[in-house]
Amino acid sequence: MTSSVPPPRPFLIGVAGGTCSGKTTVSERLAELAGEEHLALIKLDSYYITRDHQPIEERALANYDHPDAFDWPLLNDHIAALLNGATVPVPIYDYANHTRSGDVRMVAPARIVVVEGILVLYEPRLRERFDLKVYVDTDADLRLIRRLTRDVAERGRTPESIVSQYLTTVRPSHEQFIEPSKRHADVIFPQGGLNEPALDVLLARVRELVRVA
C-alpha cells in the first residue's frame, strides 16, 4: 500500500560570508556528508546577471560583489521550485568572459538545500526562506591571500588586476553589504571552514536531517 503522506519540506540552509572566507569548504563538507541524493547545493555565483550585451572590457570593470550583480528573481524562483519538489536548470557562469556560458546544470530537489554565496543573507526575500542561516567569518588578510591564489590559478587573472579589483569593488562592497548581513545569521563560524568544532555542530544537524528523511 502506497503511503499518502507527502515528503517533508526541504530544510533550507544559507551559507554566507566574504570572498574566500571558507563558504565553499563548509558547503562542500555538508554535501559530501549528506550525499547528492540528500542535499542539493546552489551557488550564488551561478546567478550573476548575463552581460552578453557589454564588451568584455566593460564586463571586467563591473562590481561583482554588489547586490545588483545578481539575478535575484531567477534564484528565488529556483529555490521556490526546489521547495515544491521540482528540478531546476541552474546557469553555469563563465568567469573568464564575465557572463553566463549558456549551459545549465540540472539540480534536483533534496531533503536539504544549501544556498552558498557572499550575499545570500543580504537579500530579504531569499533570507526569509532559510531554516538555518550561517555566516562564515574569516580575517580580511587571509581572504585576500586566498583570492589571489584562486583567481590566478583558476580564473586566469593577474595579481595586479586582482588587487585593483579588491580595493576598488570587493572591499567596499564587503564593508557595505556583506559584513552587515552577519547580524541575520543564526550561526557564525569564526575562522571559516577551518573551525572544526563549529563545523561538527553543523554536520551533526545535517546527519539528523538525513536520518529522518
pLDDT of residue 28: 87
- Which pTM value belongs to this model? 0.89
pLDDT of residue 212: 59
The 3-class secondary structure across the chain, one letter per residue, is: CCCCCCCCCCEEEEEEECCCCCHHHHHHHHHHHHCCCCEEEEEHHHHECCCCCCCHHHHHCCCCCCHHHECHHHHHHHHHHHHCCCCEEEEEEECCCCEEEEEEEEECCCCEEEEECCCCCCCHHHHCCCCEEEEEECCHHHHHHHHHHHHHHHCCCCHHHHHHHHHHHHHHHHHHHHHHHHHHCCEEEECHHHCHHHHHHHHHHHHHHHHCC
- Percent of the chain clearing pLDDT 70 (strictly above): 95
Of 95 and 182, which is predicted with more confidence?
182
Per-chain mean pLDDT for the chain: 89
Classified by CATH at the fold level, domain 11-207 comes out as Rossmann fold (3.40.50)
Residue 2: pLDDT band by 50, 70, 90 thresholds? low
Task: Please write the tens of the pLDDT for every residue from 36-45.
Answer: 889 999 999 9
Task: Please write the tens of the pLDDT for every residue from 132-171.
Answer: 999 999 888 888 998 889 888 887 788 898 888 889 999 9
Domain range annotation of the chain: 11-207
| pLDDT of 53 strictly over 70 | yes
